[in-house]
Structure 1
Amino acid sequence: MDLRQQQQNMVERYRETVDQRENIRRLQVETGSPFAADSAEQLSARVERLVSKREVDPGDLTPVPSDEGPVRPAVVFERILGAANELQSVNFLARGARAARAVARVDIIQGGRRAGFGTGFLVGERLLLTNHHVLPDVATATESAAEFDFESDADGVPKPVDSYDLAPDELFVTDPALDYTLVAVGARPDGKRPGEVHGWLRLIAQQGKIVIGEPVNIVGHPDRRPKEVAVRANELLNQLPRFLHYRTDTEPGSSGSPVFNDQWEVVALHHAGVPDPGGAGWIANEGARVSGILRHLAEAALPPEQKALLAELGPQAVPVGPVPVETVPGDGRSGGRGTGAQERRGVTGRTAAGRRRVVFLHGRGQQGHNPAELRAGWCRGLAVGLAAAGLPPLDDADVWFPFYGDALATATAGRESAGLDTATTTAEAYVPDDPGARAVYAALIAESAKATRMPESEQQPADAQESGLLGGAVAALQRPLSWIAARSGLDDIVIAAVFRDVAAYLGDKSVRDAVLEAVLAGLPEDGEIVLVSHSLGTVVALDLCTMLPSGISVPLLVTAGSPLGLDAVYRRLLAHGAVRPGQVDVWLNAWAAGDAVAIGCPLGDTWDRVRDVLCANPKDRAHDIAQYLSHAPIAAEIAGAWSAVG
């Protein structure tokens, strides 16, 4: 996973949680409390942690009036936090200074040349935590170094820099999805390890380190400058199962910085700012949660000697209990997340008596995401549509969510694109490396450009020359791609990324097999399913229908934002054409005029017995599944099929 993909995933996560953040802001305004949007479980865990660590004295808290009805958890927490905020004095500064000593500037060396700088921090006597995109591999880490005390003293005099070589041969663990790298650090010539000199920050697996609305503090080396700290005017905006969104000031070079609560406990590993899709700077920051990193480390397959080195993290870093449930901010409800094989395949649902199963089949770009989080996002979009139709929401637990995002990413790893480093256009950057997938990719762009009435004379410029690694034929695809983007309003990167993954699925048998295997593993074994699919998931759904066990039927198929109307797509399905699946009783297709992925819609022009529903999705969210599901006719159809007796 390259930096471009990491940033795109981050932007998508931020876009997918826009409704959560709007709900958070609404609750904060309505209640007058910055903490009212978090769940009772999170607030209780936070209170317990502050009291148990003696950050506050319960005797100093004023009693809560008993004659005002039930006490909201946020009210109790406000009193706890009010007492805890007394720490913003010398104690706060002293603890911050102690924590900052463990933060280092990472001098990134590649091929003997300085490639840049990042930030890292000690989490053990000889263990440094930073981003995957700062230290992506053993070779880079071997040449790079950690520089401590690159800062000024109390009188503004620069301190002597204390530099240590990294020792990835002793330990190197990395994960591009969470964007973290844990690497061992060598000793100084005098034999001292960095933790002996600068101390280290304890990573804590226990929940309750921060809640929505609390401030965060960041220490790092922005833009390679001496160490700086960002305090105040910062707050936690939202909590996802594996990531945090927060508002604070960071710059390039802050990557790999620790994100602290007010007790100077690490709550996240900062990895990037979220760019404004409109190009107006940065709108938030994102970091990987400590709990997610520790769980990944606990499950990593490492040699015994490296496992032993992880013991430096301490017993408080060992995850205990089930994987944290997803919290839907503002409603106090939680949805479970599977563990083990279920966690890898997706989220299974239950079957209410007398009802069919609902199965959501997601689109591309979901690798590294929590299936329970994705499922909840779909359910929230559907709940809006059901409310508009005067119907109650579905329970998240009644929905199955077979997850293939990681399987798709693994199957295409190393061959997603050719010449990414030399590409000069978006079309080149996203072209698949596999010859079959490359042909499909070119056909998708060309056919979509034709469907949007691009003049043929402009699709293949006469002066196209062989250029670079990819050649003029691929380079010439940028013009039709830009045409499609201009006509739809979607970014050309979004369109190219979707077309690349659709092409990889259709043009490379090994990719298709890996995706279908992952989906089949997360489906019910028998019965009737209401199959709701989106984007690439609609293509997978049509193939899936040819492979379903004999005991499964599909009374309703919903396709949303689908490219199934393109000849380049349906001719390459397992059915070898626009052949309507026999297991499907009713087929509903949702499409939007501004959705460049659904450019071949309506499907009724090509497929037999498809009911097309035109949705007025906002131009900037024309392809979003939540927008499609929020339309009352579509939501009502899903609810009706689900509640019918199977």
Structure 2
Amino acid sequence: MGTGKPQLLFVHGIGGLRDAAADRRRWLEALAKGARGAGLADMISALTQGWLADVTFADYSDLFNRRGAQGGTGGELDESDVPFLLGLLDSMLEELAEQFPPESSPVEARVVLDARFQLDAAVSGRQSQGAGEIGRRLVGVTTTVLRLPGLRRTAQWVNGWGLLSHLAQVGRYLDRRTKRAELGSAVRARVLDGLDPARPVVVVSHSLGTVVAYEALHTYEGDVPLWVTLGSPLALGAVVLDRLVPTPAHCPARIAAWLNFWDRDDIVVGRPHLANWILPSESGVKALTAPVDSRGLWTHTATKYLEHREVARPVIEALLS
């Protein structure tokens, strides 16, 4: 393993344009809160002041959100976005149906059933409709999902289009056709830019960032004592897992330990399947998966995960080792 001051790399997920400095501060503050809960309060100043590690927040949000950029924006979906979104929304509604059974959550179950009806209608009419009409139907699905009690209040999206357009970023990243493949390459380059392979790096990635980190770390030549994945969609079957490069999906070779955390209420993740469906590295390293409970419906934010002592402790310990 390399020597010298360790590096801590944060890799964000879906969303709009970011303020990297502000997000870096928020992620560190959340990690510090988790460290306090883990009984590591004496490490907080070292972490937040940069004495413990050189901290980088890898911001690639402009590649998806700048008008005319490779990832595309605008008010309608591209035809190529549709298959991915149909699969992803189907997986999300399956998760919600499990979370809100009719016998114990009748109001929520009716909302989920309504969204399922709309999604099935979009699928059945797909061949006779253009991308614009299907997009409007899918916005209807996400708008309905946002009616779930608590979700609109706690989520980062104010309407169905905002949620749908951000979910589409995952499919755009995974699209291997020429223009979209260029997007993926640019995102991975942004994540690895500035890292020093001679020094160890602890990687903390969230949501889409776990997909990006998976592919980027397969090409990285430095030592990674710990990779932490939060709210990861890596194990979402055909919509994500089967489209990863390299395939079959396996742990990157330079990873010494991989911890995957998922919240039981996080509708974007593939639940605990990640550890079972992604093969170990040649040295035998594979994901160790553990649940956390953030309480509240919308738990798919990096800071909620980082505030858990179960997440913060191994990150701090890896930086100290």
Q: CA deviation at 1:471?
A: 5.4
- Report the equivalent of 1:372: 21
- Report the equivalent of 1:145: none
- Aligned counterparts, 1:474-513, within 5 A: 474-478=135-139, 480-481=141-142, 485=146, 486=148, 489=151, 490=155, 492-493=160-161, 495-507=163-175, 508-513=180-185
Max Rg structure: 1
CA distance in 1, matches of 2:67, 2:247: 23
Say yes or no: does 1:404 pair with 2:60: yes
Q: CA deviation at 1:356?
A: 2.6
- Report the equivalent of 1:450: 94
Q: In the alignment, is the contact (CA less than 8 A) between 1:440 and 1:506 conserved in 2?
A: no
CA distance in 2, matches of 1:465, 1:566: 22
Partner of residue 210 from structure 2, selected from 504, 525, 538: 538
Q: CA deviation at 1:634?
A: 0.8
Q: CA deviation at 1:605?
A: 3.6
Q: In the alignment, is the contact (CA less than 8 A) between 2:231 and 2:269 conserved in 1?
A: yes
The residue type equivalent to 1:444 in the other structure is: L
CA distance in 1, matches of 2:262, 2:169: 20
Partner of residue 120 from structure 2, selected from 457, 460, 485: 460
Say yes or no: does 1:634 pair with 2:287: no
Say yes or no: does 1:595 pair with 2:266: yes
- Report the equivalent of 2:240: 569
Q: In the alignment, is the contact (CA less than 8 A) between 1:362 and 1:403 conserved in 2?
A: yes
SS in 2 for 1:575: coil
CA distance in 1, matches of 2:67, 2:241: 22
Q: In the alignment, is the contact (CA less than 8 A) between 2:32 and 2:48 conserved in 1?
A: no
Q: CA deviation at 1:412?
A: 6.1
CA distance in 1, matches of 2:149, 2:140: 12
Say yes or no: does 1:613 pair with 2:290: yes
- Report the equivalent of 2:13: 363
CA distance in 2, matches of 1:413, 1:378: 27
- Aligned counterparts, 1:337-352, within 5 A: none
Q: 1:524 to 1:409 in 2, by over 3 A?
A: farther
Q: 1:494 to 1:593 in 2, by over 3 A?
A: farther
The residue type equivalent to 1:500 in the other structure is: A
Structure with the larger strand share: 1
Q: 1:411 to 1:638 in 2, by over 3 A?
A: farther
- Aligned counterparts, 1:263-282, within 5 A: none
Q: 1:414 to 1:534 in 2, by over 3 A?
A: closer
Q: CA deviation at 1:624?
A: 1.8
Q: CA deviation at 1:531?
A: 0.5
Say yes or no: does 1:395 pair with 2:48: yes
Q: 1:599 to 1:482 in 2, by over 3 A?
A: farther
Q: Deviations over 1:343-384 (max 9, x none)?
A: xxxxxxxxxx855321111223352x4322211111000000
Q: 1:554 to 1:374 in 2, by over 3 A?
A: same
- Report the equivalent of 1:15: none
CA distance in 2, matches of 1:530, 1:416: 31
CA distance in 2, matches of 1:457, 1:408: 28
Q: CA deviation at 1:521?
A: 1.7
SS in 2 for 1:359: strand
The Cα RMSD (Å) is 3.1
SS in 1 for 2:57: strand
In the superposition, the TM-score normalised over structure 1's length comes to 0.39
- Aligned counterparts, 1:290-305, within 5 A: none
CA distance in 1, matches of 2:319, 2:257: 13
Q: In the alignment, is the contact (CA less than 8 A) between 1:437 and 1:505 conserved in 2?
A: no
CA distance in 2, matches of 1:411, 1:554: 35
Q: In the alignment, is the contact (CA less than 8 A) between 1:587 and 1:611 conserved in 2?
A: yes
Q: Deviations over 1:507-527 (max 9, x none)?
A: 121210111122222322433
SS in 1 for 2:36: helix
- Report the equivalent of 2:190: 518
Q: In the alignment, is the contact (CA less than 8 A) between 2:67 and 2:73 conserved in 1?
A: no
Q: In the alignment, is the contact (CA less than 8 A) between 1:359 and 1:402 conserved in 2?
A: yes
SS in 1 for 2:257: strand
Q: CA deviation at 1:476?
A: 4.2
Q: 1:564 to 1:495 in 2, by over 3 A?
A: farther
Q: CA deviation at 1:475?
A: 4.3
Q: CA deviation at 1:600?
A: 4.5
The residue type equivalent to 1:496 in the other structure is: L
Q: CA deviation at 1:591?
A: 1.5
Q: In the alignment, is the contact (CA less than 8 A) between 1:529 and 1:554 conserved in 2?
A: yes
Q: 1:381 to 1:457 in 2, by over 3 A?
A: closer
- Report the equivalent of 1:381: 30
Unaligned runs of 5+ in 1: 1-352, 421-428
SS in 1 for 2:121: coil
The residue type equivalent to 1:529 in the other structure is: V
Q: In the alignment, is the contact (CA less than 8 A) between 1:437 and 1:504 conserved in 2?
A: yes
Q: 1:396 to 1:602 in 2, by over 3 A?
A: farther
Q: In the alignment, is the contact (CA less than 8 A) between 1:604 and 1:611 conserved in 2?
A: yes
Q: CA deviation at 1:457?
A: 7.7
Q: CA deviation at 1:500?
A: 1.2
SS in 2 for 1:461: helix
Q: 1:621 to 1:481 in 2, by over 3 A?
A: closer
The residue type equivalent to 1:569 in the other structure is: V
In the superposition, the TM-score normalised over structure 2's length comes to 0.74
Q: 1:414 to 1:587 in 2, by over 3 A?
A: closer
CA distance in 1, matches of 2:9, 2:73: 31
CA distance in 2, matches of 1:363, 1:619: 20
The residue type equivalent to 1:461 in the other structure is: A
Q: Deviations over 1:172-196 (max 9, x none)?
A: xxxxxxxxxxxxxxxxxxxxxxxxx
How many equivalent residue pairs? 277
CA distance in 2, matches of 1:415, 1:542: 19
Q: 1:484 to 1:575 in 2, by over 3 A?
A: farther
- Report the equivalent of 2:101: none
Structure with the larger helix share: 2
Identify the structure with bigger relative contact order (alpha carbons < 8 Å, sequence gap 6+). 2
CA distance in 1, matches of 2:250, 2:69: 31
Q: In the alignment, is the contact (CA less than 8 A) between 2:211 and 2:233 conserved in 1?
A: yes
CA distance in 2, matches of 1:412, 1:556: 36
CA distance in 2, matches of 1:411, 1:553: 37
- Report the equivalent of 1:129: none
